[in-house]
Amino acid sequence: MSAGGHRGTRAIQTMVEYAPATGGLALWMEHRDVDDRDDVRVIANDGRCIFYGPEFPRLPPAQQVGLVAHQVLHVALRHSPRQAELRGLVGDVDPELYTTCADAIVNTSLGHLSWLELPPGSVHLETLLADHLGIRREPAAALLEWDVESLYRKVDDRKRQKERAGSGRTEGERGEAGEGEGKAPRPSPSEDGPVARGVREAGRGAVKDLLAPDPDTTRPEAAAEQAREWTERVTRAHAGDGEFSMLRGLLADLPRVRTPWETVLRTRLARGLTREPERSWSRPSRSYLANRGRTAGGRRMPWEPGTVSSRRVPRLAVVVDVSGSVDDPLLERFATEVEAITRRMNAQLVVVVGDHKVRAVEAFEPGVSSLRDVEFQGGGGTDFTPLLEEATRHRPDLCVVLTDLWGPANHHPPYEVIWAVPPHAAHVREPFGRKLVLAE
């Protein structure tokens, strides 16, 4: 789309002059002047369109270029739609904290350019990491490591209160169940922890520029395609501009098609716990009945047994390594997914808790399983061998091991094993079976 005829035209011309490829990303976006919106006094975007408020023309030219470049990267990296997607996963996303995280990534990406100016007090990724998380990284290294979702999860240490006393339901569950069809989950009251408080203060002076996303950017059928398109555009543009690129390095924050680990876990458990039909020698197959037991030439066919639905109840084993560093929120999300699939598949659940030895074993009947009722206590070194041997004793159809993967596994069971690991253990190789990283 043409970038002419709006308040940001001159700034975009400057961007294209100095960085033709990455500056040209602005031409893939809509641009609109607005004078009657209280949420757009300077500049903002909804993931599709950049809006220019009445105060924008009063800024110095270099600052106009910096703000437009900032918005262009927000749109290209899909920050506004990704905020909505993250809220759908975790149920409660603080817009102010999320915007500061997105701003930090964008500002660091633009910070090496001398032909634009960022507003005073702009937060940068390397400064945010050092000041509030105690992590020291050079700007380029930080951009290669952090995306907006992982950064937000790291800084969001708010303390949440239960909305309904004794309900035992989490934000994610209320978000999934909904307070009514089509309604967003209501966030619980919360209080900033020290990290969230510091990050909020650091971003307080910035322009609040991430608006509610345009519906066309969040529809599932369109979101994946847009993520692919923007990834290709950004990658090509960065390669085209080289050292003059508006992107300091190929970002970890590039938009990509993300399949939530909850969806992967749900699919694998459903596949592993589906009841297989059993062969029945007391009833003929449908093809045998259709042909009346004879071939086209009239010869008698050999008996062909039919199938019947399996009466055996599927069984899932969950092994929890209590020596591993799996934090409580991640364990809560994992438990919610396992409980939902066992109810849906009407499957029995056996939970084995341990470290270098079995600490506890709990069995639940179909539809009444609750991982959150299990006491997770341990603290010793890890040896998966006795834990898997105990799981095998219960003859499961599938086993999920929640662990950081540090420890031997000298028992290779005859059923499929899924190793569910936190992000910091993503690089550790699984001894057998499949690994699922509980990230995003």
Position 264 in a domain = no
Output the pLDDT for position 368: 66
Position 266 in a domain = no
Q: Where are the beta strands (DSSP E) in 89-201?
A: 159-160, 190-191
Output the pLDDT for position 165: 41
Is 173 buried (19+), middle (13-18) or exposed (0-12) by CB count in 10 A? middle
Position 2 in a domain = no
Q: Are residues 62 and 138 in the same domain?
A: yes
What whole-number distance in Å separates Cα of residue 185 and Cα of residue 160? Answer: 14
Position 158 in a domain = yes
Query: Which parts of the chain sit beneath pLDDT 50?
Result: 1-3, 162-185, 187
Output the pLDDT for position 192: 92
Q: Are residues 400 and 341 in the same domain?
A: yes
Output the pLDDT for position 306: 65
The count of structural domains within the chain is 3
- Is the four-CA dihedral 283, 285, 289, 294 of positive or negative sign? negative
Q: Are residues 320 and 304 in the same domain?
A: no
Q: Are residues 215 and 320 in the same domain?
A: no
Position 4 in a domain = no
Q: What is the pLDDT of residues 27-58, one digit of tens each?
A: 999 999 999 999 999 999 999 999 999 999 99
Output the pLDDT for position 60: 96
Position 82 in a domain = yes
Output the pLDDT for position 167: 40
Q: Are residues 323 and 293 in the same domain?
A: no
Q: Are residues 429 and 348 in the same domain?
A: yes
Angle formed by the axes of helices 79-90 and 220-241, nearest 10° = 140
Q: Are residues 301 and 204 in the same domain?
A: no
What whole-number distance in Å separates Cα of residue 410 and Cα of residue 77? Answer: 45
Output the pLDDT for position 181: 39
Residue 303 belongs to what domain range?
A: 278-308
Backbone angles phi, psi at 319, to 5 degrees: -105, 125
Output the pLDDT for position 326: 62
Position 263 in a domain = no
Position 1 in a domain = no
Cβ contacts of 432 within 8 Å, gap of 6 or more: 409, 412, 417
Q: Are residues 292 and 335 in the same domain?
A: no
Residue with tokens 């009722």: 373
Output the pLDDT for position 262: 66
Q: Are residues 293 and 399 in the same domain?
A: no
Output the pLDDT for position 236: 92
Kindly report the pTM of this predicted structure. 0.58
Q: Are residues 354 and 396 in the same domain?
A: yes
Q: Are residues 153 and 97 in the same domain?
A: yes
Q: Are residues 284 and 140 in the same domain?
A: no
